[in-house]
Amino acid sequence: MIKTKQDYIESLKKQKLNIYYKGKRVEDVTAHPALMPHINAAAKTYELALQPENEDLMTATSHLTGNKINRFTHIHQSVDDLIKKVLMLRLISHETGSCYQRCVGFDAMNAMYSTTYEIDEAKGTSYFKRFVAFLKYIQSENLMVVGGMTDPKGDRSKRPSEQSDPDLFTHVVEKREDGIVIRGAKAHMTGAVNSHEILILPTQNMVKGDEAYVVAAAVPLNAKGITLIFGRQSNEERKHEEGIDAGNKKYGVVGGEALVIFEDVFVPWERVFMCGEIEYSGMIVERFATLHRQNYGACKGGLSDVMIGATALAAQYQGTANASHIKDKLIEMMHLAETVYAGSIACSAMGYKMKSGAFYPDPLLANCTKHNITRNIYEISRLAHDIAGGVMATLPFDQDLRSPEIGKHVKKYLAGVESVPTESRMKILRLLENMTGGTCLVESMHGAGPPQSQRVMYQRLGNLQQKIQWAKTLAGIDE
């Protein structure tokens, strides 16, 4: 069982995944400078669970075995569980200033649990029993699971079965007596290169003719036929450098996303949890999306806290902290951060019990939470840029600061208040640059679905006709 950071790192060494970075095979993920920050961030989910002061948030009691487990492998059993999830995510964000990558698999498992229960109830299948067996294994070993939902999708105007290249959506190419064979890819997979298993889900609501594309299954990432291609991030090359230019060198930028390729990968039936049930494809997608959108006010609220602290420190270092407009902008940043956090708490507090016994956040409020993230994080970042100043984008290299010839000029002309070393000022500005640009903002926009997907859910869940009726009643309109 994986308990410590070192346990986790050793487990990754043993996997021998087929990973490519910049066109070259990665022999050891734990020795690669571009991958190690993401491993460090994920390792925090193991480290914090061993600290007594965090035990209540980071661990739970399995309703399946009665054993103490890491909360990232838990199925929510109460509103309290939903709220503790939110508190846990904000805590880890404070510790890492980055994505720690276990949320997607966590949410995929919770969505799969309730959906397979209802499929079995209606159709007499054995998916739920299979999934529970898989879940017990994940809990007992404390494995890291990447949730595999997003497909490349090809031509978005066409359905999966209409694509000229069928592999642009992950699909079943063969059904055998002992299992299935799948082909395709999953894109933007957060934490894939340092996870143990991938839990594949359908990527969208399917219709008749798309049956082959409705597949949910668990696959070890070192299975034959799987290739992972690491995605480039903003400031990617800085991970290879020493010094302060990386900004957050220990924990990276976002979540180490990868393109995961399946070339005729065999999956035994005991690890298949959906296979052709088109009428349930929309259900699993919506449930996963709701559970994942629940998170964003927590993790991004926590990251915003760090950004606010870094911005305030930058203002102190340059001598502007006491200006009234700086104070007002910091207050606005705090307001925006607490607003998104309140959304995560609200959708959790309004959660409810499902047929399977698992608890589920309020879907309308969860979508509202994620939609606010796509706006508020950009405004928080804009205010950080405003306060920190243009120097954040034009700082000299770390090597310039260390140079025997020109280091003295960097120290002299980039100094702020007299009591603060120039290096400290540069460090905090680099951290802000790292957290408020490029990949970080794109992930805030598109992670768990872009804004339009939340607006679609408003239309579905907003109960507009009831709102019209309330207005009619109060206005005395009887028709």
Catalytic residue among 21, 99, 368, 436: 99
Helices (H) and strands (E) in the chain, counts: 16, 14
β 272-275/59-61 pair status: unpaired
How far apart CA 21 and CA 236 sit, in angstroms, is: 11
Query: Is the C-alpha dihedral spanning 307, 308, 309, 315 positive or negative?
Result: positive
Q: What is the 3-state secondary structure (H, E, C) of 385-402?
A: HHHHCCHHHHCCCHHHHH
How far apart CA 425 and CA 373 sit, in angstroms, is: 28
Catalytic residue among 171, 196, 292, 371: 292
Q: Which CATH number fits domain 5-282: 3.40.50.150, 3.40.190.10, 3.40.640.10, 2.40.110.10?
A: 2.40.110.10
Catalytic residue among 257, 277, 286, 433: 257
Q: Which CATH number fits domain 283-462: 1.10.510.10, 1.20.140.10, 3.40.50.2000, 3.40.50.10090?
A: 1.20.140.10
For 216-227, give the DSSP string. Answer: EEEEETTSTTEE
Instruction: Classify burial at 31, counting beta carbons within 10 Å of its beta carbon; exposed 0-12, middle 13-18, buried 19 or more.
Output: exposed
- Residue environment code for 309-342, b if the CB has 16+ CB neighbours within 10 A, otherwise e: ebbbbbbbbbebbeeeebeebbeebeebbebbbe
Strand, helix or coil at 259?
strand
Residue 49 confidence (pLDDT):
98
Residue 479 confidence (pLDDT):
79
Indicate if 100 belongs to the active site.
no
How far apart CA 255 and CA 183 sit, in angstroms, is: 25
Indicate if 277 belongs to the active site.
no
Indicate if 10 belongs to the active site.
no
How far apart CA 172 and CA 183 sit, in angstroms, is: 7
Catalytic residue among 96, 116, 190, 311: 190
Task: Dump strand ranges (E) for 12-131.
Answer: 19-21, 24-26, 59-61, 68-70
Q: What is the pLDDT along the chain (479 residues), one digit of tens a residue?
A: 999 999 999 999 999 999 999 999 999 999 999 999 999 999 999 999 999 999 999 999 999 999 999 999 999 999 999 999 999 999 999 999 999 999 999 999 999 999 999 999 999 999 999 999 999 999 999 999 999 999 999 999 999 999 999 999 999 999 999 999 999 999 999 999 999 999 999 999 999 999 999 999 999 999 999 999 999 887 778 777 888 888 888 898 777 899 999 999 999 999 999 999 999 999 999 999 999 999 999 999 999 999 999 999 999 999 999 999 999 999 999 999 999 999 999 999 999 999 999 999 999 999 999 999 999 999 999 999 999 999 998 999 999 999 999 999 999 999 999 999 999 999 999 999 989 987 767 777 877 778 888 888 888 888 989 998 999 898 999 87
Tokens representing residue 144 in the block: 């890291």
Residue 252 confidence (pLDDT):
82
Catalytic residue among 32, 45, 299, 371: 299
Q: Are the CB atoms for 305 and 283 separated by under 8 Å?
A: no
Tokens 């990386």 locate to 246
Q: What are phi and psi of 145, to 5 degrees?
A: -115, 130
Q: Are the CB atoms for 285 and 104 separated by under 8 Å?
A: no
Catalytic residue among 117, 296, 341, 360: 296
Amino acid at 319: G
Indicate if 379 belongs to the active site.
no
Tokens 């964000």 locate to 93
How far apart CA 396 and CA 400 sit, in angstroms, is: 6
How far apart CA 427 and CA 243 sit, in angstroms, is: 9
Indicate if 296 belongs to the active site.
yes
Indicate if 99 belongs to the active site.
yes
DSSP one-letter code for 191: T
Spatial CA neighbour of 260 closest among 191, 212, 203: 191
For 292-312, give the DSSP string. Answer: HHHHHHHHHHHHHHHHHHHHH
Catalytic residue among 103, 275, 347, 440: 103
How far apart CA 206 and CA 204 sit, in angstroms, is: 6
* Greatest Cα pair distance in the chain: 84
* Residue extents of the structural domains in the chain: 5-282, 283-462
Query: Is the C-alpha dihedral spanning 347, 353, 358, 364 positive or negative?
Result: negative
Please report which helix (H) or strand (E) contains residue 56, including its range.
Answer: helix 55-58
